[in-house]
Amino acid sequence: MFLVVVAALFVAADRLAVNFAEDKAAEKIRGSLGLSETPQVSIKGFPFLTQVASGTLTEVDASLGGIEATAEGHRLRVTELSAQFHDVKLSSDYTSIEGAASATGEARIGYADLTRAAGDGVRISYGGTSGGRSQVKISPDIPVLDSLDVVGTVSTVGGDTIRLRADELPTLCTAVPGCEDKVRARTDHDWKLGELPAGLKLDRVTTTRDGIAISAKGTDVKLPG
């Protein structure tokens, strides 16, 4: 009976410690990355105190909300960025996190947010897939071109930038001087994310009926804290 009581007290102390550490980590991540919302942080593995003593946490999961990318005065809101950090190294005094050996993650962006970020007179919606490639439909409001819809692609550039490009414009537009530049000023955009943990890079883009999903990965990732 005594051993059962001791074990229960150890588990309770361990859970209190991990909850305290998660709250502190969330506060530091929010402050360091300048987030508008406090992220949700979950430290995996049991017991937590044994991991702390070893100086390495098996896995730390974080859900970052309120991230925004900017371009040409327009803001693109990332609905959510969830990331899993593996083999997280603690500082020698156990008061901060130095980094993670590897990390994976996924960012989600809705079409309504893409439409707002593209500016006035542009609507972005689901475009399906073609030849295994994810696509979006871009509908710019151009006075001389009635009901113009073009197929576009969302990709990542440099590990921190989300790029939107119209794949091909109608022949009528390309034949008219200045028309292509006017249309592409509405359809083509780059939004740079300045709030990613160092070492975590945006990777592959997939379109769904609800929005786009962007996978992320990295090694030697630096976590604030």
pLDDT tens-digit series, residues 35-77 = 777 778 888 877 777 877 777 888 888 887 666 666 556 677 7
Between 155 and 225, residue with greater pLDDT? 155
Question: Does 221 score more than 80 pLDDT?
Answer: yes
> Poorest-confidence range of 32-46, 51-65, 77-91, 104-118?
32-46
Q: Which residue carries 């044994």 as its tokens?
A: 50
pLDDT tens-digit series, residues 131-187 = 777 788 888 777 666 667 788 888 889 988 888 888 887 776 777 787 788 888 888
* % of residues, the chain, pLDDT over 90: 2
Amino acid 77: pLDDT: 77
Amino acid 145: pLDDT: 61
> Six-digit token pair at 7?
């074990």
Neighbours of 121 (CB within 10 A): 11
Mean pLDDT within 216-221: 89
Amino acid 7: pLDDT: 41
* 79: three-class secondary structure by DSSP: coil
In DSSP terms, 83 is beta-bridged to 62, 105
Give the DSSP letter string of 109-166. EEHHHHHHHH-TTEEEEEEEEETTEEEEEEEE-BTTBTT--EEEEEEEETTTEEEEEE
